[in-house]
Amino acid sequence: MELGRRSLAKTLVCRLWMTVSKALFAEFLATGLYVFFGVGSALRWPLALPSVLQIAITFNLATAMIVQVTWKASGAHVNPAVTLAYLVGSQISLPRAVAYVAAQLAGATVGAALLYGVIPEDIRETLGVNVVRNSVSIGQAVAVELVLTLQLVLCVFASTDSRQATGSPAATIGASVAVGHLIGVRGCPLLPPQIFWVGPLTGAVLASLIYNFILFPDTKTLAQRLAILTGTAEVEKVEGEEPQKEGSQASSGDMEMESVCQVA
């Protein structure tokens, strides 16, 4: 009997590790590809200087591609601001959110390093690092980042909410990223690890509050939200709804991890 319990516990630990490692690798891969293709599109080749439209389209297509590839593995957050928004909305646990952000930052670093290694020295320069124009104040830049990230996070919520959307959100989220870059690509990169943190993270929190508490509020109690935050409750069981499709931004991986831990 004891041997059977140990075997079951070992099996469940293996499943837990596979679930966590798959999701983290997906976030690592997605963010690395996003940075590689997005930043690569903004490099200043002498014979073909990038246009705002070219950069926006590249970010659009790159986002749609990586969301399609990874959203069933991790929810395709690809952005610390999106992860923070889901944490504020009680749709992901704090430990998982921290792990996601770490994987995203690592992926962004590797993606930038790979791009740096394959681009000629006379072209790479500062590798597309964004700077605020002299005519734009820091406050104005932060405000633009806030608004751009707010619209992105609202779009992510709306396109992944099982109450009003079905199928892959890749095209919709890609379009939202393109809209943001068409407005702020020259001074506001829309991805916090590249330059700004305050504007994007504030915009993400505001978007989460607007969507989850004003536009489409749920019935979670404070105790239930705390249980989700600490990873001791499943999101769908708290909400009393049908389980969402695997890979939705509501973090199906958290549910599996919780059930595994309870059984173990």
Residue 43, domain member (yes or no) = yes
Total domains in the fold of the chain: 1
Composition of the chain by helix, strand, coil, percent to 5 = 70, 0, 30
Place of tokens 């990874």: 70
Which tens digit of pLDDT belongs to each residue from 181-222? 888 765 445 555 446 788 899 999 999 999 999 999 988 888
Whole-number Cα distances in Å, 168 to 31, 86, 90: 18, 18, 22
Residue 218, domain member (yes or no) = yes
Percent with pLDDT over 70 in the chain: 74
Residue 22, domain member (yes or no) = yes
Phi-psi map region of 118: left, alpha, beta (phi>0 left; psi -120 to 50 alpha): alpha
Residue 213, domain member (yes or no) = yes
Where residue 216 sits, what CATH number does that domain have? Answer: 1.20.1080.10
What domain range is 116 assigned to?
1-239
CB distance 192 to 200 below 8 Å: yes
Supply the mean pLDDT for the chain: 80
Which tens digit of pLDDT belongs to each residue from 65-108? 999 999 889 989 999 999 999 999 999 999 999 999 999 999 99
Place of tokens 């014979």: 47
